[in-house]
Amino acid sequence: MTDSAPSVRRKYALFLIFTVISLALDQWTKALARQYLQPRGPLRPKVVIQGYFDLRYAENPGVAFSMLQDLPGGRVLLTLLAIGAFLLVLYYLRKTPIDNPRLHVALGLVGGGAMGNLIDRVVYGRVTDFIVWKVGVHEWPAFNVADAALCVGVGLMLLDMLLGWKSAKKIETKTETGTPPAKA
């Protein structure tokens, strides 16, 4: 066994743990929404924080935050896109360095979110949404745990890119000035 074997296992373990957690939370909360919120209908939401946060059942044939709802052939196209996105996540995971746990967590969240909505789309033909944030008269489109996992995962990926860019810029600047880069 090589010295890097535990790190490689850790990379895949982090990905798998966050994929499973986000997928399980998504499917569990959607089942609860179908059981308890669907009978209330869209006009009787469960108010969590008056004027800011409601739980309201919605079915979305589109993508995240109810976009592309009326896309012709959308179910098949969005299913294929979700499968493709998950395959890209797996491919990208294979290419990531073993010493980047933030990126492994991010990819797990994106993978779990993509799979959560894919399961809904395949089983029900649409995605169950139920979380509604609002401020004053502005109300964001309903979303679910999978959408939130996707957004947090993409945010972590952007953070990783930004920090990587800043780090590369520091090394480039030190190299240009003749100062040797600091050891990590």
- What are the backbone angles phi and psi of residue 57, rounded to the nearest 5°? -70, 135
54 as an active site residue: the answer is: no
- Say which of 3, 99, 129, 160 is annotated catalytic: 129
- Say which of 26, 54, 120, 147 is annotated catalytic: 147
147 as an active site residue: the answer is: yes
How far apart are alpha carbons 66 and 126 in whole angstroms? 10
- Say whether 143 sits in a helix, a strand or coil: strand
Residue with tokens 């972590």: 156
How far apart are alpha carbons 78 and 56 in whole angstroms? 23
DSSP string, 110-152: HHHHHHHHHHHHHHHSSEEEEEEEEETTEEPPPB-HHHHHHHH
| The Cα angle at residue 117 between residues 74 and 144, in degrees rounded to 5 | 115
| The Cα angle at residue 136 between residues 138 and 129, in degrees rounded to 5 | 50
Catalytic residue annotation? 129, 147
